[in-house]
Structure 1
Amino acid sequence: MPVPETTPAPPSLTSPVIDCEPPAYLLAPPSAAVSRAKTCPTPTALHRPGPRRLRLVEHADHPPHTEATRFAEAVLRRVLEVVDRRRPPAQLRPLISPQVFDTVLALPPARQAAAATLKRVRLRAAPGPGAAEVFATFTRGPRVHAIAARVELHSGRWQLTALQVG
């Protein structure tokens, strides 16, 4: 009866790992480990609400005006329209300082075809009379972006004096 031919096994690409771990041993006697486990707080105790420290926040003398809020909403909406190339930049000139105007003109156009939509605007009184800090969010497509700005009262008119678009 003829013997079937066998093909040789391919060389192994792995090699055995040498066990070089030291043997496990107890750090403390078993009675100490049990007493330590009893003193550990439970997970519910760790997540229990506790007293929190209050932060001191300096308040300005004057709260932000409703006129400042309306102005901030309008000027930020126009800034987004200028960045999206839906509004001519000349309409922003009387509302913002010259340095901010140059910054807005230097902003690159949006990469997405979706238009920016202003969602939320918050104001906080800033140091100094007639000034407020503006925090806003806007969406462009599925993404949410942030805007930070400062508005100041100059000669009876509000003006955007600082802007950062994120």
Structure 2
Amino acid sequence: MSASPAPVSPVESQWSTAPVIDYEPAPQPLSAHRPSCTAPPTHRLSSRRRALPLEPRPPKSAVVFAETALRQLVEVIDRRRPVAQLKPLMTPVLVEQVIARAAVTPPGSATLRRVRVRCVDTGDTEVTAAEVFATFLRRGRVHAVAGRIEAHRGSWRFCALQIG
């Protein structure tokens, strides 16, 4: 009489492993990869570099607004500042999104690290819109914020915002 194999429990079969088969080809010497003939290059490298057009510098008021508004935004998300202080800085839809974000953000203090402002729309004589990029640090992780600010009643206002 032969002994039957011991039954395998579902837990053991779930965690069973199998060897992985190596599908990579064997390494070849470098001489095997050289082409048999080397043709001269068909293009010439130019020693002159093309000058890229310089972007207009963002107005100082846009940079100051972006830094201040983003600092306040991070403080609202951290529940260190009331939401009402964001209302003059951004559209009502964005304020609602920030409230929703603050509700799911774990408690902790964030620190604004770097803010960059880039002009994207110039009116007849002055800049009317700019993109804002920033990073902030929370609980040892770096997060990003991007948005668009537009001139609004003699000041600036966020009209788009993405918080990562």
Asked if these proteins are the same fold (TM beyond 0.5), I'd say: yes
TM-score range, shorter chain: 0.5 to 0.7
Which residue in the other structure is 1:151 paired with?
149
- The alignment yields a C-alpha RMSD, in angstroms, of 3.2
Counterpart residue type for residue 148 of structure 1: A
Which residue in the other structure is 2:112 paired with?
118
Question: CA–CA distance in 2 between the matches of 1:58 and 1:97?
Answer: 33
Name stretches of at least 5 consecutive residues in structure 1 with no aligned partner: 1-33, 41-49
Question: CA–CA distance in 2 between the matches of 1:161 and 1:68?
Answer: 13
* Matched ranges for 1:93-132 at <5 A: 93-107=87-101, 108-111=103-106, 113-129=107-123, 130-132=128-130
* Matched ranges for 1:1-166 at <5 A: 36-37=31-32, 39=34, 62-107=56-101, 108-111=103-106, 113-129=107-123, 130-166=128-164
Question: CA–CA distance in 1 between the matches of 2:115 and 2:94?
Answer: 19
Counterpart residue type for residue 90 of structure 1: A
Deviates more, 1:146-155 or 1:62-71: 62-71
For normalisation by structure 2, the TM-score amounts to 0.63
| CA 127–84 in structure 1, closer or farther in 2 if over 3 Å, else same | same
For normalisation by structure 1, the TM-score amounts to 0.62
Question: CA–CA distance in 1 between the matches of 2:75 and 2:64?
Answer: 17
CA contact (8 A) 1:116 1:139 kept: yes
Corresponding pairs, count:
122
Question: CA–CA distance in 2 between the matches of 1:94 and 1:136?
Answer: 20
Name stretches of at least 5 consecutive residues in structure 2 with no aligned partner: 1-28, 36-44
Q: Percent identity?
A: 45
